[in-house]
Amino acid sequence: GITGAVLAGGAVSARLAQGIVELGDVAQGARAPMVMVAALIGAASWITLATAGSLPVSTSHSIVGGIAGAGAVAFGPGSVAWGTVAMIASVWVATPILSGALAGALLILLRRKVVDAADRAQGAQRWLPPLVGLMSGAFAGYVMILLQGSAVATTAVTLVLGLGGLLVTRQGVRSELARDPDKPATRRLLRPAVLLAVAILGFAHGANDVGNIAGPLSVILQGQSVAPGLNLGPGVVPVLVLACGGLAIATGTLLFGRRVVHMVGSGITRLNAWRAFCVSLATAIVVMGASGLGLPVSTTHVAVGGVFGVGFAREWLDHRRETRAEALPAEETRRRILVRRSHVVTITAAWLVTLPITASLGGLACLLLLWATGV
């Protein structure tokens, strides 16, 4: 997460620092930092309450709402780039749908070609090594582009690491099949792919979510004597701020993320290694794409979309299998519904209310700060 924050977090952080509220020449004044402090207070208050209730709300949604609400109070509603807010909100709708479609399609592919194949061993040998090779090569190329490597160097690193991932996975699959050729443990077969997908997801998480901290913090520190060595011009987010933001994300996840992780991992639909891999990879692809465009999306939001995607894909696959066999009683069909629909309503409601609630909290916090300081 910290690596992703440092290498790829600048674009999202800069958009949150300068793209939601038109600070203009007031960026060095007292009100601009106060807007960001108020936005952080509003977002943190809502996220703390939601986390206590095991609701996977979005930090990105919360900070955008907080900045918009506080900015409207401090500089007037006309200072808020409502077009940008609307564009970001439309991306929030599209990203979980895209993640769900990718995760579901990937699960269907793996179920058909490996898990449910007549010859699982042959399917694993044919599909898993190229898949890991493609993942490792593509990720290496993405990092090289972030590092502004030359075309030759980027191509070379992409090919070498892609081929390396393919060969290492092929050897691992062969070793596992040699241990038990008749009933290979699918969990161990998929281990390299799962580890790589989770690592890429961690990178993507840091790259996008660090902006929620680093963007406001960079505005707060602008022109302050507490950080004389930092380049804190408008729209500039220093590497040190990105690194501190990444560390804060990692610490918060370790200390307080268990409830939400349980909700996403088992509350919506049950995840095994194959499903978790599909969700992780789909989420990483969508979030890294958004980060490259400088769009603040919710990693949790996108991951939940992926979880719903694999859940509905499981239902579709199992329904197709059952229609070929004897029809099941209605009660048995209902019992086999694999996605808990009640969570769809709960999670969607939490997402919908996040923006107005955090805008209200951010605006209220800004109003109190302005009153207390007389700015």
Looking at this protein, which amino acid is placed at residue 366? C
Residue-wise DSSP of 237-297: --HHHHHHHHHHHHHHHHHH-HHHHHIIIIISS---HHHHHHHHHHHHHHHHHHHHTT---
Residue 212 in contact with residue 296, Cβ under 8 Å? yes
| DSSP 8-state class, residue 30 | S
Give 10's pLDDT tier (boundaries 50, 70, 90): low
pLDDT at 365: 94
Q: What would the pLDDT profile of 119-164 be if each residue is shown by its tens digit?
A: 777 888 888 889 889 988 888 888 887 777 788 888 998 999 999 9
How far are the Cα atoms of 39, 202, 263, 275, 306 from residue 209, in angstroms, in the given order? 15, 10, 20, 24, 18
Residue 312: closest CA among 285, 339, 272: 339
pLDDT at 332: 44
Q: How many angstroms separate the CA atoms of 147 and 154, rounded? A: 9
Torsion of CA 32, 33, 35, 38, to 10 degrees: -170
How buried is 261 (Cβ within 10 angstroms: 0-12 exposed, 13-18 middle, 19+ buried)? Answer: middle
Q: Which of helix, strand or coil describes residue 374?
A: coil
Q: Which residues contact 294 (CB under 8 A, 6 or more apart)?
A: 11, 12, 14, 15, 19
Residue 210 in contact with residue 13, Cβ under 8 Å? yes
Q: Is the pLDDT of residue 17 over 80?
A: no
pLDDT above 90 as % of the chain: 15
Q: Is the pLDDT of residue 223 over 50?
A: no
Q: What would the pLDDT profile of 48-104 be if each residue is shown by its tens digit?
A: 888 777 776 788 889 999 999 999 998 888 888 889 889 988 988 899 999 999 999
Q: Is the pLDDT of residue 230 over 70?
A: no
Residue 242 in contact with residue 5, Cβ under 8 Å? yes
Residue 35 in contact with residue 366, Cβ under 8 Å? yes
Residue 363: closest CA among 22, 31, 69: 69
pLDDT at 331: 46
Q: Is the pLDDT of residue 329 over 60?
A: no
Q: How many angstroms separate the CA atoms of 314 and 173, rounded? A: 25
Section 100-122 average pLDDT: 86
Q: Is the pLDDT of residue 226 over 50?
A: no
pLDDT at 198: 82
Looking at this protein, which amino acid is placed at residue 110? L
> In this structure, what token pair is assigned to residue 55?
């609701």
Section 155-178 average pLDDT: 87
Residue 295: closest CA among 53, 12, 87: 12
Higher pLDDT, 12 or 90: 90
Q: Is the pLDDT of residue 207 over 60?
A: yes
Q: Which of helix, strand or coil describes residue 80?
A: strand
pLDDT at 66: 92
Section 284-291 average pLDDT: 87
Residue 100: closest CA among 318, 286, 265: 286
Q: Which of helix, strand or coil describes residue 19?
A: coil
Residue 166 in contact with residue 133, Cβ under 8 Å? yes
> In this structure, what token pair is assigned to residue 4?
């992703």
pLDDT at 100: 92
Q: Is the pLDDT of residue 308 over 70?
A: yes
| DSSP 8-state class, residue 20 | S
Q: How many angstroms separate the CA atoms of 163 and 155, rounded? A: 12
The whole-chain average pLDDT of the chain stands at 78
How buried is 194 (Cβ within 10 angstroms: 0-12 exposed, 13-18 middle, 19+ buried)? Answer: middle
Q: How many angstroms separate the CA atoms of 61 and 45, rounded? A: 13
Give 232's pLDDT tier (boundaries 50, 70, 90): very low
